[in-house]
Structure 1
């Protein structure tokens, strides 16, 4: 792996429609999908982002295309299909949001692998539902293997529970992606499901000791970062009146990528003060999204 001066980020995964319940019981369609949210967030934060997913030719696919184009995302690597757009029905809960997915035979998960020219990107991000839903999962893994050799591979496991997923297989797929990564961002809930025999912090220490920057998000308790040769770094959350938490983790990840790809060094080689600044910017981005309805990150987030 070599570092590359071009700070663009290639985001591989799904763009889908979240159906979000309103107070009157109706469902409001909102552009979503963790990778699409990350691509739009990276671009809005001023770093170039290219999205490699597949968009439907239906009206919802057109909505997703407009959303990312308006954010400045490069869609030249995006596929197109006449199959429908996948849906995710969101059910906000006291400690997060549950999703029920409608993804079978959709355009959203008909992904092609991208295994060439990845050294032309500062980082490649994989994660979201595409990492575990077939046939997309095979393309995501092939892309991740190539990215791990050519540039910085960032993985957000984003563990999802749904009746349509085999939990044992899904966790195996996510662990395999993590084993390839140079940067891992996971929530404490993700870590608990991926490594049930370890505490989240112990799992993160182990992953970092293998030569990674590992970031653990803790919701309202902030975040932690783990490097191979330093003590864990902890940064508090930015106080905000929470409207909903949909997309907050994606905004956090987008800010991490936007900050990292502007640096001409590997994530694991960052000094602790640089990591503190990175986590603070990511916390600000997450707070922006928590303070409004919908998953979109709008405008730059600056330290104050």
Structure 2
């Protein structure tokens, strides 16, 4: 793992999100084998989450020229996400078939020859205008998008604050060795890393998740590990780890909860810390509680859009 870049201060609070916007086919309530289409994709969920939580988000992605693409565009724009850096190639929208289970969600993907991974290459030149840049999701590992994501990430790491959620996906269409290598490279560039305990095990199988987090934190990163119903822990250089429990809710849905958590982190860091990542224990706890509340708001109802947590 390399040393983290130094974030500059005094930047505007907007977030540039680079990655995929696709359509999730999720189980219909009570319908055996029936799926309903809802817009999604981890980066798109994060962009919408930031906007819904009161932040400013711009999205860089490829949006299909089909009916699904129209739905995705209305969803993003309706949340207040700026789409001026996105494109609509004459290609269809990628699909992700979701299978929620007791131990998380699994997906099967239909990705080939879609607009979803035809990202405009001008995004790297825009990265320095934003308070933070988010990268992650399938676009980080699926070509031709992966090359664009890597270029944007390198520029963001050089000129500002890069936040990464590796969000490891496994599918027969993905090369696991190459995919994990690219995600590790993104984490090495980032100043903020949010990852689930399962993602950390997949990325660094020879180390305990806590050890991987501490190593990244000791190299100057703000690292947050999420553990689903068992809460979340923040690791900051030179300080003890800080943990908070998950907010208790009646779980209706878990799709998009991790993305809502990430959106909560970014919104809090922009509004409350001016993108400073060297947090005291008290401020790290406040950030975790806000992000956990955003995630809980998604778990408590259908859909992936968070609402601002109350009592935080």
TM-score per shorter chain, which class?
over 0.9
TM-score of the superposition, structure 1-length normalised?
0.97
| Structure 1, gaps ≥5 residues long | none
Counterpart secondary structure, 1:17: strand
The correspondence for 2:61, drawn from 53, 61, 64, is 53
1:147-226 counterparts in 2 under 5 A? 147-226=156-235
**Counterpart in the other structure of 1:19:** 25
What is the distance in 2 between the residues matched to 1:137 and 1:16?
16
2:241 equivalent among 222, 229, 232: 232
Structure 2 spans left out of the alignment, 5+ residues: 1-6
Contact 1:281 1:303 in 2 (8 A): no
Structure 1 contact 5–264 (Cα < 8 Å) conserved: no
Distance in 1 (CA, whole Å) between partners of 2:130 and 2:253 is 33
Answer yes or no: is the 8 Å Cα contact 2:85–2:120 preserved in 1: no
Other-structure match for 1:252: 261
* CA contact 2:118–2:145 (8 Å) conserved in 1: yes
- Contact 2:86 2:120 survives alignment (8 Å): no
Is the 1:185–1:253 Cα contact (8 Å) retained in structure 2?
A: yes
CA distance in 1, matches of 2:274, 2:263: 18
- Cα distance in 1 between the residues matched to 2:54 and 2:305: 15
Aligned-pair CA distance for 1:263: 4.3
Contact 1:212 1:267 in 2 (8 A): no
Corresponding position of 1:92: 100
Structure 1: how far apart are the matches of 2:9 and 2:127?
11
2:289 and 2:275 mapped to 1: Cα distance? 19
Report if aligned partners of 2:11, 2:274 keep a CA contact under 8 Å in 1.
Answer: no
* Bigger shift: residues 132-141 or 1-10: 1-10
What is the RMSD computed on CA atoms of the aligned residues? 1.1
Q: How far does the alpha carbon of each residue in 1:1-22 deviate from its partner, in whole angstroms, 9 at most, with x for none?
A: 4224310000000000000122
- Secondary structure at the counterpart of residue 178 of structure 1: helix
Give the match for residue 139 of structure 1: 148
CA contact (8 A) 1:46 1:258 kept: yes
Q: Secondary structure at the match of 1:99?
A: strand
For 2:165 and 2:146, the matched residues in 1 are separated by 14
Secondary structure in structure 1 of the residue aligned to 2:293:
helix
Deviations 1:104-127 (A, max 9, x none): 000000112322232221100000
How far is the alpha carbon of 1:265 from its aligned partner? 4.8
SS in 2 for 1:82: coil
Contact 1:244 1:293 survives alignment (8 Å): yes
| 1:2 aligned onto 2:8 | yes
Aligned residues: 303
